[in-house]
Amino acid sequence: MDMSPLNAARCAWEVAAGIIPGEVDTALTRRWGLTVAEWDSGEGLKLFLERRAAAEGYARWLELECSQGRMVNWVRLDFIWF
């Protein structure tokens, strides 16, 4: 595993969901991240926006499942900048 500073995380998104509030269904959890090297590559903003959109899209899809009473009762999207 490459532990160089350029491969360090710059930011991350996590979408979690479940039936019982606070109890995460790990099968539904998805994560997206951006490394320092990606952010500094000249494509950083583009990659940031693409991954944010992917996380938001997945969260919206799960919300639709909630509204139809199928898989989940709650959805949470977390973002962190390192």
Q: Cβ neighbours of residue 42 under 8 Å, at least 6 residues apart? A: none
Q: pLDDT tens for residues 28-74?
A: 999 999 999 999 999 999 999 999 999 999 999 999 987 777 788 99
- In this prediction, residue 18 carries a pLDDT of 92
Instruction: Report residue 1's pLDDT band, with 50, 70 and 90 as the boundaries.
Output: low
- H or E stretch including 47? helix 44-67
Whether the CA torsion 18, 23, 27, 28 is positive or negative: it is positive
What is the mean pLDDT of the segment spanning 70-80?
A: 92
CA distance 57 to 42: 25
Domain count of the fold of the chain:
1
Supply the pTM of this predicted model.
0.86
CA distance 61 to 64: 5
User: Do 22 and 46 meet the contact criterion of CB atoms below 8 Å apart?
Assistant: no
Question: Which range marks the domain in which residue 43 is found?
Answer: 5-81
